[in-house]
Amino acid sequence: MPQSFDNNSPLSHLNINHSLGGAAEFNALITNLMSKMQTITLVKVVALSEGGIAPVGTVDVMPMVQMLDGADNVYSAGQIFSVPYFRLQGGANAIICDPVVGDIGLCAFASRDISIVKRNKAESAPGSRRQYDWNDGLYIGGFLNGVPQQYIGFSNGGIVIHSPTSITLEAPAINLQASSVTTKTGSFAVNASKTAQFTGGAGISSDGDVQAGSVSLKNHTHNGVVTGGGNTGKPNS
C-alpha cells in the first residue's frame, strides 16, 4: 500500500528541484565528486626503475584516456610516477618478465594512501586521508600489446618455449625425464669438466663416425695382427 504523508510535515513540501540548488545542480555535484575517484584505467609505461634479478621495481606511466573539462576541451591527465608493478612471485620463486617502455597495461588505484606501505613493505597506517587517488596506483601489464617475439606458449598440443636468441638453463643438476628426446640442430656439443657418460639399454647408434681422441671408430686399424685365435693389439691412432 502506498505510504501516506502528513501535509503538515516539512518533508511533504520538499521539491528536489528547489533544494540543494535543484536536481541538475545536485547531479553535477555528485558527478564532480565521482570524477575525483580513480578506479582503474589503461596506461602506457614511459619509464622503468630497477628490474631484472632484483626486488620488484616501479614504473612511471601515462594514462591513455584523456580528460575533458567543462567546455569539452581535451587534455592529458599527466604522468604518474613510481607505480609498483606486478610480478608473479611466491617466496623466493618468481617468473621475471618486467615491463618495458611502451607497454600498455592496467593501473588500479587503492582506496587509501599506500605510500607508507610501499616504503615499509609492512602493515602501516595510511600516509594521508586521500582516497582513490592518482598517487596510489598499482600496475598490471599485458593489455592491447603486440605480437611477442619471445614466449612460452601453452596449447592442447603441448608447451613451446621460444627465443630468437638463446635459452639458458642454470642449476646444480638438470634432469630430463621423457620416453624419448629428439634434438634438431646444426651442431651439438657437450662440454663436461668431468666425465661425460652416455648409456643406452638398447645400444647407442650413430649415422656418422665417432672419434675418441685421434682414433676413428669406423676407420681405425690395429697393429699386432696375427692369423689364428689371438687378439689384435690396440687400435692405431
Write out pLDDT tens, residues 223-237: 777 776 666 767 776
What is the pLDDT at residue 160? 95
Decide: residue 136, CB within 10 A, 0-12 exposed, 13-18 middle, 19+ buried: buried
HEC-encoded secondary structure of 14-48 = CCHHHCCCCHHHHHHHHHHHHHCCCCEEEEEEEEE
Predicted confidence (pLDDT) at residue 209 exceeds the cutoff of 50: yes
What is the pLDDT at residue 2? 44
Write out pLDDT tens, residues 100-137: 999 999 999 999 999 999 999 999 999 999 999 999 99
What is the pLDDT at residue 237? 67
What is the pLDDT at residue 22? 67
What is the pLDDT at residue 149? 94
Predicted confidence (pLDDT) at residue 1 exceeds the cutoff of 50: no
